[in-house]
Amino acid sequence: MKIKINRSAVELRQGDITKQKVDAIVNAANSRLAGGGGVDGAIHSAGGPAIMNECRKIGTCPTGTAVITTGGNLFAKHVIHTVGPRYRDGKSGESELLINAYKNSLNIAEKSGVRTIAFPSISTGVYRYPVNEASRLALSTVVDHLKGDTSIEKTVFVLFSLKDLETYSTSLKDLIKE
């Protein structure tokens, strides 16, 4: 599924984020930038040690913020590492932190001259954020950003499972109906 927002496009796709031919891919990292499983593990293993070397120099990344490193051996020139919240009960500031993770990733992308960017579904794996709610927050934050002054031409959400792709598709359809 693909929609236009002013001069930008938002696309949903099923696949592996490490294979995307974009300027920057976003990593769902942890605040110690220590690597891990899920999309974080896949990015470090496909991108090679140059990414971790830069992460070590940067140090930490508080929840909701974002940092940028090389893409190492990936096609993408940059990896933007952001940290989503661990889901507790939905009343512990999770939604604001998840929105901030997307916003700060987009802001650092703009500053770094990124024109095409791919996001995974931040926080909905190990951090257990419910996908339906997370997809609505993710998509509305990106769409709002693209309605403003932006040099981003394309934003791709890369969903690992067909079920997640379907959830995101429903959320995007609902969002553009509003």
Size of the site for ligand AR6 (CB under 6 A): 24
C-alpha distance from residue 106 to each of 58, 87, 136, 155, 175 (Å): 19, 22, 17, 10, 19
Residue 160 touching ligand AR6 (CB under 6 A): yes
Say how many residues make up the chain: 178
Residue pair 158/126 in contact by the 8 Å Cβ criterion: no
Residue 120 touching ligand AR6 (CB under 6 A): yes
Among 10, 12, 24, 29, binds ligand AR6 (CB under 6 A): 29
Q: 40 an active-site residue?
A: yes
Strands (E), 18-134: 24-28, 66-70, 78-82, 116-119
Identified catalytic residue from 40, 89, 144, 174:
40
Binding residues among 65-94 for ligand AR6 as defined by CB under 6 A: 84
Residue 42 touching ligand AR6 (CB under 6 A): yes
Cross-strand pairs, 78: 24, 70
Residue 126 touching ligand AR6 (CB under 6 A): yes
Which window, 57-65, 89-97, 116-124, 165-173, contacts ligand AR6 (CB under 6 A)? 116-124
Cite the active site residues.
40
